[in-house]
Amino acid sequence: MRFTLEIDPLDLDQTLGCGQTFRWRRLPDGSWTGVLSDQLMTVRRNGRELHAEAFPGGAGARDLLAEHLRVGDDIGRIQRRLASDPVLRRGMGGLRGLRIVKLDEWECTVSFVLATYANIPRISKMIESLAAAYGKRIAPGIHAFPTVGRLRRASPGDLRRLGLGYRADYIHGVCAALGEDDLGRMKGMGFEELRAGLMALPGIGDKVADCASLFGFGRLEAFPIDVWMERALERLYRQKGSHARLRRFASERFGAYAGYAQEYLYYNERVLASDGACALSDK
């Protein structure tokens, strides 16, 4: 099933390849393919339009992609709000196509538990292994992300054999701790309550809770801090200290769109700074 989505601005390479989401793959022609819920999606940008193909397709496929790419986000408005910060003001124009992604709450939570102390290629591999072993089959070699109920059947030993390492015990513990609709009820919580609820789960500290809040629950005020963000905050803002202190700094400075600020800073630091091609600078 083919369809078209109007969305602008959008840079697929920046949005899908920068570590917010782990199941998209870039094809040599510049299109991207990945699994959303129970759909295999392939997308290609053409100006303001995104041409998509979904398999098996169906009524919900279009909404699924639209929600995933947050078509409702007004990037111009968000950047005008963030322009009160001089560091972002100068360089973020080049990152207008870098959109925050909206993932399924459960998939996102598990993905970022797996992301602890692993690099992005390995995170992708662990997720694909989980899907292949426990996810519903969509097409040959393509599987949906496993539901809580299916993943609950995996023992810690099973999960270790999939290459998860010590994360196997965390995933097992999260499955055991969650009732069927616990995450569903958390959608209605305020940010701090949601964050505390997530951090009550095994393997979820403040970084993972903020990633799940931002990319899974769609809370744009969340500001995940990892080693790249520590580097960016020190290099561009001369800010050091505990994560609690850095989060307060970010909250006061970036407000309701801290998540977008974080993504710009993260992308700039991880992808561009190593090439000396920074979009953002403190000068």
Partner DNA sequence: GCCCAGGAGTGTG
Partner DNA sequence: CACACTCATGGG
Site for DNA, rule CB under 7 A: 18-20, 112, 115-123, 125, 160, 163, 165-166, 199, 201-209, 211, 224-229, 241-242, 244-245, 262-263, 266, 270
Name residues whose C-beta falls within 8 Å of residue 103's C-beta, 6 or more positions apart in sequence: 20, 21, 68, 111, 215, 216
- Cis status of the peptide bond prior to 156, with omega within 30 of 0: no
Asked whether the beta carbons of 102 and 215 are under 8 A apart, the reply is yes
Integer CA distances (angstroms), 224 to 39, 178, 189, 191, 266, in order: 28, 23, 19, 13, 10
Task: Name the token pair of 104.
Answer: 């399924």
Q: In the complex with DNA, which residue's Cβ is closer, 22 or 54? A: 22
Q: In the complex with DNA, which residue's Cβ is closer, 17 or 255? A: 17
Could you tell me the smallest distance in angstroms from the CB atom of residue 262 to DNA? 6
With the CA atoms of 197, 198, 201 and 202 taken in that order, what torsion angle do they form, in degrees rounded to the nearest 10?
-150
Query: How far apart are the C-alpha atoms of 263 and 99, rounded to whole Å?
Result: 8
Query: How far apart are the C-alpha atoms of 105 and 109, rounded to whole Å?
Result: 6
Q: In the complex with DNA, which residue's Cβ is closer, 61 or 106? A: 106
Could you tell me the smallest distance in angstroms from the CB atom of residue 196 to DNA? 12
Task: Name the token pair of 237.
Answer: 């803002």
Look at residues 202, 195, 198 and name the one whose alpha carbon lies nearest to residue 159: 202
Q: In the complex with DNA, which residue's Cβ is closer, 150 or 160? A: 160
Query: How far apart are the C-alpha atoms of 124 and 122, rounded to whole Å?
Result: 5
Q: In the complex with DNA, which residue's Cβ is closer, 19 or 34? A: 19
Could you tell me the smallest distance in angstroms from the CB atom of residue 243 to DNA? 8
Could you tell me the smallest distance in angstroms from the CB atom of residue 193 to DNA? 17
Could you tell me the smallest distance in angstroms from the CB atom of residue 271 to DNA? 10
Q: In the complex with DNA, which residue's Cβ is closer, 46 or 119? A: 119
Q: In the complex with DNA, which residue's Cβ is closer, 118 or 189? A: 118
Could you tell me the smallest distance in angstroms from the CB atom of residue 107 to DNA? 15
Could you tell me the smallest distance in angstroms from the CB atom of residue 47 to DNA? 26
